[in-house]
A and B are shown apart, each in its own frame.
Chain A
Amino acid sequence: MRRFIDLNLNLAVERGCEEEIEEMIGWAAELGYSCIGVPIPIDLDPDVTQKIRRICDRYNLDFIKRLNLAPRSVTDLLDALRSLRRRYEVIAVSCLSKNVARQAAKDRRIDLINFPSTDPRKRFFDSAEAALASKALTSLEIEMSPLILLWGFSRIQLISHLRRETLIAKKYDVPIVISSGAGDKYVMRSPRDYASLAYLFDLDYSSAIKAISENPSKIIVRNRRKLSPDYVAPGVYIVKRGRDC
């Protein structure tokens, strides 16, 4: 059976509103997700993370600890990665400048890159970016909540950017990951509804389903393996411990 994954569910973790968090997690379970990624700020109390994990367990959801980075410069990005990579299962970078976008695309420690702005000059996903991302196995993340929340001309612009970026990603074999980016339950939709919404930017239904199930799943499996104590270096794992080996 297919496992649907929402890698970006914006729970109100900083406000610590437990009822709201539980409502959204319960709703995600009802919509058919089996795994959710929650952005956890760096300075958040670990007890809150544990609380979220417990709520997810109650609803039979797999909890993914995600970090959203929005660095101003390449140095900031590299510093953050050096200190935080091993503490999070998924790292996403919002590319606010071209230099950051290029570095994020070629860095193997980054799982997802996204472009939050609707300003055409601030969306840096072009052929060069895609070629770098393709080599480093970085995925292009498409947040669906702006498609629901935006209106009129800004939505038209967003759809046209997404259409162009999807085309480039397909051409260069960059994996696409669809996530909700939802901040409340009214913006949350079922995985199949998100796949239908992807029709707006010409992503076919089967690719969209893959972008919300298989592609994020690959990232999680890969990262969990890397974070396990058996990981030594890329391609090198401890398969057995003990005196006889």
Chain B
Amino acid sequence: MRRVRYRYVAVKIDDGELDQRDAVMAVSRNLIRLFGEYGASVAELTYIGSELNNRILIFRCTHVALEMVRASIASLREINRRRCSTRIVYVSGTLKALRRRISQSRDELAVQR
């Protein structure tokens, strides 16, 4: 059986004090809303953790569903009935590389607007 390849996606949510759990739920819900339960099962979206005091959320998805996950994150407009702006800051093949890139641009990413 061929090994499943994954992608790690770092998402910055630009809005004050959001609950991390709400944000994760909103991303998963949006994926299901856009691509349905079948799409979500292909994506295997998993929350890995957060960086920079919950300002960056890290998700894992299968590499075949990366575009689906990117589209669903980009179309997210509110979390827990609060308007927010999301953006994907990095995508990487390994968690180690992703964390390294986040820490390299820590100052840039930590700016809270």
Given A192-B88, A193-B87, A200-B34, are A186 and B77 also a contact pair (CB < 8 Å)?
A: yes
Residue of B34, B67, B71, B77 near A187 (CB, 8 A) is B77
CB contacts (< 8 Å) of A21 on chain B: these are: none
Q: Among the listed A30, A147, A185, which residue makes an inter-chain contact with B75, where contact means beta carbons less than 8 Å apart?
A: A147
Q: Given contact pairs A189-B85, A189-B86, A197-B74, enumerate 10 new A-B contacts (beta carbons under 8 Å).
A: A186-B84, A186-B85, A189-B74, A193-B73, A196-B73, A196-B88, A197-B75, A199-B71, A200-B71, A205-B67
| Chain B count of residues within 8 A CB distance of the other chain | 16
Residue of B whose beta carbon sits closest to that of A200: B71
CB contacts under 8 Å to A, within B34-71, are 34, 67-68, 70-71
CB < 8 Å: which of A30, A190, A199 contacts B88? Answer: A190
Complex-state Cα separation, A182 to B88, whole angstroms: 18
Within 8 A of A (CB), among B67-113: 67-68, 70-71, 73-75, 77, 83-88, 113
From A152, which residue of chain B is reached at the shortest CB distance? B33
Count of chain A residues with Cβ under 8 Å from any Cβ of B?
20
CB of A209, distance to nearest CB on chain B (Å): 13
List residues of chain A with CB under 8 Å of any chain B CB. 27, 30-31, 147-149, 185-190, 192-194, 196-197, 199-200, 205
Minimum Cβ distance to chain A for residue B107 (Å): 14
Contact B87 A186 (CB under 8 A): no
Identify the B interface with A (CB < 8 A): 34, 67-68, 70-71, 73-75, 77, 83-88, 113
Interface contact B113-A30, CB-CB below 8 Å: yes
Given A27-B113, A147-B75, A199-B67: A193 and B83 interface contact (C-beta under 8 Å): no
A147→B34 CA distance, assembly (Å): 11
Query: Smallest CB-CB separation from A188: which chain B residue?
Result: B85
Q: Are A196 and B77 closer than 8 Å at their CB atoms?
A: no
